[in-house]
């Protein structure tokens, strides 16, 4: 049940925003979309969400071309701009989107309650959007993207404005959604956080996408107690179990470990290498 974009192109007058974009999203996997400002990422996401028609190319699900209306029903879309109705409450906004997706009233009521719990906004259900903080609005926007249980989830800078606790929740929630069968695409400039949640990375530069790169997330930073930060060792492990086994060996051998954490520079290295190849 793959979701594919093939040969997408979009120009605004003489300005070509997306020149050649090819992308495959697979259920159960989280894909990162990274690239410099002006690379065409948001334009690509708008086309994938069915909100902007491509000049060329096709978007397919299960091998079939999708009409915009079908595309919008299939895809959950969280834009980088929050875009809420300021005078409506959090519950009213989610209910409105449930109605737009033609959920029956009892189903919509239950779904709204579930999502308010998911994003920790139940106590703000009857609070007008203009009274919410930026982070709360961002969580509301995330809930809105999930209203119809989308098969494909597209997120543009989803962690922007969120506090550290909410960012951790978002990471775990995206993994749970993927494990539940959704295909997830996340665009973000925060590479250290992105490296902890994605399985694959697509780099976009000058309106063109690369072939997917493996975001291994297998580099770990290790620092014994009493050693300066500069003395930390960076090791690669094939999986989490191997990293945990190595940590257990260190501790059993009497090493006092002050720091044992993922190193975020693996994704940064992939990104920089890909951009350099295009210069």
Predicted confidence (pLDDT) per residue in 216-240, tens digit: 556 677 889 988 876 777 777 777 8
pLDDT bucket at 78, cuts 50 / 70 / 90: very high
Residues 6 or more apart whose CB falls under 8 angstroms from that of 271 comprise 34, 191, 201, 203
Query: Do residues 47 and 74 touch, judged by C-beta distance below 8 A?
Result: no
Q: Tell me the pLDDT band of 279, cut-offs 50, 70 and 90.
A: very low
Contact 20, 9 (CB under 8 A): yes
Q: What percent of the chain has pLDDT over 90?
A: 61
pLDDT above 90 (res 69): no
pLDDT bracket for residue 272 (50, 70, 90): low
pLDDT of residue 193: 74
Taking only the tens place, the pLDDT of each residue in 130-189 is: 999 999 999 999 999 999 999 999 999 998 888 888 888 998 999 999 999 999 999 988
């Amino acid at each position: 049940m793959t979701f594919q974009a093939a040969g997408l192109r979009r120009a605004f007058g003489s300005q070509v925003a997306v020149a050649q974009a090819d992308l495959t999203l697979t259920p159960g996997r989280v894909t990162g979309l990274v690239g410099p400002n002006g690379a065409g990422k948001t334009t690509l996401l708008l086309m994938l969400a069915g909100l902007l028609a491509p000049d060329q190319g096709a978007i397919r699900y299960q091998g079939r071309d999708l009409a915009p209306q079908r595309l919008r029903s299939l895809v959950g879309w969280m834009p980088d701009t929050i875009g809420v109705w300021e005078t409506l409450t959090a519950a009213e906004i989610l209910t409105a989107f449930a109605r737009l997706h033609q959920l029956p009233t009892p189903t919509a009521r239950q779904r709204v309650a579930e999502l308010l719990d998911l994003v920790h906004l139940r106590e703000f259900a009857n609070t007008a959007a203009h009274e919410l903080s930026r982070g709360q609005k961002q969580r509301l926007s995330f809930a809105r993207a999930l209203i119809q249980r989308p098969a494909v989830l597209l997120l543009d800078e989803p962690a922007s404005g969120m506090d550290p606790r909410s960012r951790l929740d978002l990471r775990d929630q995206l993994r749970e959604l993927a494990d539940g069968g959704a295909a997830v695409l996340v665009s973000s400039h925060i590479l250290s956080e992105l490296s902890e949640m994605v399985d694959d990375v697509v780099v976009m530069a000058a309106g063109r996408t690369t072939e997917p790169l493996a975001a291994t997330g297998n580099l770990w930073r290790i620092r014994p107690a009493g050693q300066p930060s500069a003395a930390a060792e960076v090791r690669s492990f094939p999986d989490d179990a191997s990293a945990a086994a190595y940590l257990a060996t260190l501790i059993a051998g009497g090493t006092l470990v002050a720091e044992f954490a993922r190193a975020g520079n693996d994704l940064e290295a992939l990104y920089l290498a890909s951009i350099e190849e295009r210069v």
